[in-house]
Amino acid sequence: MQTFQDLFTYNDWANRRVYAFCRGLDPALLTEAAPGTNGTLAETLKHSIGVEDAYLMMLRGQSIGSGSDDARDRYFAQDLSWFLDRGDQIGSEYVALLAGLDRAALDQPLNVPWFSFPVTGYDGLMQVLAHSAQHRAQIFSVLGSRGMEVPGLDYVRMVGERRQAGTR
């Protein structure tokens, strides 16, 4: 489980860097078409955070329904600032969740309503990590192609920062 703890600590760190960077951008840039993403940068951020939130609920054993109900529409109707704030919270919630999971929990089926095939809790955790990395790369690639210097997201950069700060 330590590997998952480390990976989700990194995921939280990397996401926070992306969110902080995006908070400082011109709002018009976030809402214009961004080829290679989920429409716009704002839509990609909302989607990425929404997926992390949905998997967190499912891993906690909470139902998220079919994804086509009013609750989903209300959730995604929130403004980008709300999503960025929520994104800042999710990482620590995953780390706390992982502290209470064991291998048996990871082997349990995970009911993901948008998949027509079975997945486990382990698969869900892996999907969150891969999915978030994909969207971070898309966002920073678009911004870099527009001449912006984006912060590095290498795992070892996080390790170095944490060691300099005296944390693990």
Residue-wise pLDDT tens for the chain (168 aa)? 889 999 999 999 999 999 999 999 999 999 999 999 999 999 999 999 999 999 999 999 988 865 556 888 889 899 999 999 999 999 999 999 999 999 999 999 998 988 999 999 999 999 999 999 999 999 999 999 999 999 999 999 999 999 999 987
Residue 16: what are its φ and ψ, rounded to 5°? -60, -35
Amino acid at 10: Y
- Specify the CATH architecture of the domain 2-165: Up-down Bundle (1.20)
CA distance 69 to 89: 24
Tokens 């939130």, residue?
A: 53
CA distance 131 to 14: 13
